[in-house]
Every structure is written in C-alpha cells, then in structure tokens.
C-alpha cells in the first residue's frame, strides 16, 4: 500500500495559498477577496493535517487545530459577508477601491 508523500500535501497547500494570496492582493471585488482568504486558510488546514499525519508522534493535534481554523474561517466569512451587505446597502458597490472612508 503506497502512501501519498508529505511533499505532495505541501505542494498542494503551497499552490492553494499562492492562488489565495494572488486573489487577495490583486482583485477589487470584496467577495473575491474573502474567498481568497478562505483558500489561504484551507491551505493552512492541509498543512496542519499533513504534519499531524507525518509527525514522529502522530495524533489528533493537527486535526484539532484544523477544526479551530475552520471555526475561525466560518466566523470570518459570516462577519465579512455581513459587513459587505451593509456596505453594499450604503454604497451600492462591493469594489474595494471605492471603500476608502468610513463616511458616506
């Protein structure tokens, strides 16, 4: 039975993180920026689970930290979307470039 090597998990996480970083830094739509941040958090989750699987003393530590990260990501998505809905109602746009001040 062959196992997937640790390098494959790390490469997948690297690709996901780079795609998320590119999206967060270059896109103007705030929804796309939130999705990009979610991609970066998922890359972190892959690393946590992979290192927990391939560590010297395998255990549930990586999975537990991954659950905390998923919880934080869900809260970030809920709060972020609530803020975006409020901004859209006030300004009729979700472009990051047009959100430059707190005043209307």
Is 46 inside any structural domain?
Answer: yes
Is 10 inside any structural domain?
Answer: no
Please, which pLDDT band fits residue 104 given cuts at 50, 70 and 90? low
Distance CA 23, CA 72 (A): 20
Q: Count Cβ neighbours within 10 Å for each residue of 4-40 and write b for 16 or more, e otherwise.
A: eeeeebbeebeebbeebeebbeeeeebeebbbbbbbb
> What average pLDDT does the chain have?
88
Number of Cα atoms under 13 Å in the Cβ half of residue 96: 13
- Most confident by average pLDDT, 10-14, 25-29, 30-34: 10-14
pTM of the model: 0.83
Number of domain units in the chain: 1
Please, which pLDDT band fits residue 1 given cuts at 50, 70 and 90? very low
Q: What domain range is 42 assigned to?
A: 29-91
Q: Phi, psi at residue 95, to the nearest 5°?
A: -75, 130
């Amino acid at each position: 039975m062959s196992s997937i090597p640790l390098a494959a998990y790390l490469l997948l996480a690297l690709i996901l993180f780079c795609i998320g970083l590119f999206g967060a830094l270059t896109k103007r739509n705030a929804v796309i920026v939130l999705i990009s941040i979610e991609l970066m958090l998922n890359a972190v989750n892959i690393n946590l689970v992979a290192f927990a699987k391939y560590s010297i003393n395998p255990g549930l530590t990586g999975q537990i930290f991954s659950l905390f990260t998923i919880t934080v990501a869900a809260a970030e998505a809920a709060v972020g979307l609530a803020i975006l809905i409020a901004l859209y109602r006030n300004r009729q746009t979700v472009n990051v470039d047009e959100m430059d001040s707190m005043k209307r």
